[in-house]
Amino acid sequence: MNTRELAQRINGSVEVRLLWYPDIDRVELAVHDLATDVIFELPVAPADAIDAFYHPYAYAARRVKRPAATLQAVTDEFAR
């Protein structure tokens, strides 16, 4: 499947990538904590792509159906 990287950044030990799959017109956020080797990926609505890219944990927490999701809960949820 074709993948295009729309944006990439590293902040501390966290690498964030915004990916687009043109064949299926899907945008995805990929987060990799280089220190712990925890990775999570989740689909992103195109309208939310930039917000998700700059605030990946906040975006992921909104997608977890718990009102008080912590960073650990988000990481655990998407690391599976």
Between these two residues, 26 and 74, which has the higher pLDDT value?
26
Kindly state the tokens that stand for 43: 């689909």
Structural domain of residue 59, as residue ranges? 4-78
- Structure-token match 């499947």, residue found: 1
Stated pTM of the model:
0.75
What CATH number is associated with residue 55?
A: 3.10.450
Total domains in the chain come to 1
How many C-beta atoms lie closer than 10 Å to residue 25's C-beta? 8
- How high is the pLDDT of residue 1? 80
d(CA 58, CA 56): 6
- Encode pLDDT of 11-56 as tens digits: 999 999 999 999 999 999 999 999 999 999 999 999 999 999 999 9
